[in-house]
Amino acid sequence: MVTGAGGALGTDLVRLLREQDEPVTAYTRPELDITDGDAVERAVGAWAAGEGDERAVLLNAAAFTAVDLAETDPEAARAAHAVNAVAPGLLAAACARHAARIVHVSTDYVFDGAGPRGRTAPDGGAAGYEPDDPTGAAGVYGRTKEEGEQRVGEAAAAHHVVRTAWVYGGTGANFVRTMARLAGERETLTVVDDQYGSPTWSADLAAGLVALGRSDAAPGTLHATGGGVTTWCGFARAVFDELGADPARVQGCTTEQFPRPAPRPAWSVLSPASWTAAGLPALRPWREALASAVRRHPDLLGHTPAVR
């Protein structure tokens, strides 16, 4: 069962499961509002009764993802809390009642972005966060997601929480689309070059989550992102490269020079060690994934003429 089936990740989960002839019960937001406890109980009960064995896995891809709005608008903050904090607990409790497993998706924003304390990578740089590094979200969205993780953990369902980062896909607005549009509108572009993370194509993440759902990995929290590390500026230059435009038209700036309502983690890198130790296939390097993503979804790049 997939909730949030109309979002970037949800769309790819449903597509993949159908391609693999896996029976899937998918709910977009109009079909199932995950904040409605009675509706959740009815939907999970009916679905799990139909599955009738340990194959019943609920993949929750629903979330309130308007990070800046949640920071500035109290009504949006309440909605974010209902969807990201309370509802995952409702889903997990329903899964517990009906002997289903839940795979819940969370975010790098649960970390403050200062990097894991006291650990460095083998090359001497900052290490990626491991699942049991202390969390401490800096903004409203991250705090709601942090609480959602806790509520899933408390619900006594067999569960996995999978934190990911910098997700884009064929559905909805995202960084790739925005950069492609701006490439057509502006001669040069200034993009933050001091926040580090790993772009993640929703189709690769979906494949990883499906593999997790079929695995016998021990319950708990895992990290899964595209491989490698870049900055938003590096990501934007790669989009220009895919467009056939000159990446040098993208210039770096600091976070201070581009303030946003919600704080962004400076270091969003999530270590893949927990994922691979669970026997799951690492997601491919982010640059390779971007090339595949734009081949599958040419509209990601719009119709911008190449400007070298």
Ligand X SMILES: NC(=O)c1ccc[n+]([C@@H]2O[C@H](COP(=O)([O-])OP(=O)(O)OC[C@H]3O[C@@H](n4cnc5c(N)ncnc54)[C@H](OP(=O)(O)O)[C@@H]3O)[C@@H](O)[C@H]2O)c1
> Looking at beta carbons only, is 245 or 286 nearer to ligand X?
286
For residues 9 and 170, the answer to whether their CB atoms sit within 8 Å is no
Instruction: Single out the catalytic residue among 27, 141, 168, 196.
Output: 141
Instruction: For the CB of residue 232, give the shortest distance to ligand X in the complex, in Å.
Output: 12
Alpha carbons 218 and 27: distance in angstroms, whole number: 27
Q: Which span (61-69, 120-128, 259-267, 293-301) binds ligand X, by CB under 6 A?
A: 61-69
Report the sign of the C-alpha dihedral through residues 213, 288, 195, 167, in that order.
Answer: negative
CB-nearest residue to ligand X: 7
Known catalytic membership, residue 141: yes
Instruction: For the CB of residue 33, give the shortest distance to ligand X in the complex, in Å.
Output: 4
196 Rama class: left (phi>0) / alpha (psi -120 to 50) / beta: beta
- The contacts of residue 118 (CB under 8 Å, 6+ apart) are none
Alpha carbons 87 and 65: distance in angstroms, whole number: 14
Instruction: For the CB of residue 22, give the shortest distance to ligand X in the complex, in Å.
Output: 19
8 contributes a contact to ligand X by CB under 6 A: yes
Candidates 118, 133, 246, 268; CA nearest to 194 is 268
Phi, psi of 287 (to 5 degrees): -70, -40
297 contributes a contact to ligand X by CB under 6 A: no
61 contributes a contact to ligand X by CB under 6 A: yes
User: How many residues of this chain interact with ligand X, rule: CB under 6 A?
Assistant: 26
For residues 195 and 253, the answer to whether their CB atoms sit within 8 Å is no
Instruction: For the CB of residue 71, give the shortest distance to ligand X in the complex, in Å.
Output: 15
Q: Which span (14-22, 31-39, 114-122, 240-248) binds ligand X, by CB under 6 A?
A: 31-39
Binding site for ligand X (CB under 6 A): 3-4, 6-10, 29, 33-35, 61-65, 83, 105, 107-108, 145, 164-167, 172
**Catalytic positions, written as ranges:** 141
